Amino acid sequence: MTNTLHRQGKLEDLKGDYVIFTSIAKEIKPGTAPKIHEFLKICNKHGPINIGSSKYGTVLQDDVEFNDLITNLKDGSTSGAVFTDVDTLQKVIAELIEADLGISINVSGLLEGVHECCGKNGIVRHSVEQSLGFWGAKDRLPERDV
């Protein structure tokens, strides 16, 4: 998966790019593996186009088997899934609310779409993070097509 904050593209293309991921605080890492596993199982039931972990890899890019992913993820692993539409994301969020896992879950995507699906689940957005683009020695970055 890419860094979700810096995704670029045409509005129409980005409408099909919603990432939901866990981010575990250092203070609560012990005992979080079963919660992360449940998060991923809930996401997987809804047919993400990609799912995985920053530590173990993803189903799409790294050809990781989902069951191996669950088996190998440990406490504190950052994990996520990518969905192509707001309606599916809304269903995932509803199920995660019901599961009440007690871990931080973030959603990344176009503000309007994220606001809509969270609002349908009674969630009021408390913060927004926006990319200001790329600064500095951009000539040292790899080509866009990499």
Tens digit of each residue's pLDDT (9 = 90 or more) over 113-127: 888 888 999 988 777
- Rounded to two decimals, the pTM is 0.84
Half-sphere exposure of 39 (CA within 13 A, CB side): 30
Q: Which domains does the chain have, with CATH numbers?
A: 4-124 (3.30.70)
- The C-alpha atoms of residue 25 and residue 33 are separated, in whole angstroms, by 13
Task: State both tokens at 89.
Answer: 């994301």
pLDDT at position 2 is 39
Q: How many residues does the chain have?
A: 146
Tens digit of each residue's pLDDT (9 = 90 or more) over 75-120: 888 899 999 999 999 999 999 999 999 998 999 888 888 888 889 9
Q: What is the DSSP letter of 125?
A: P
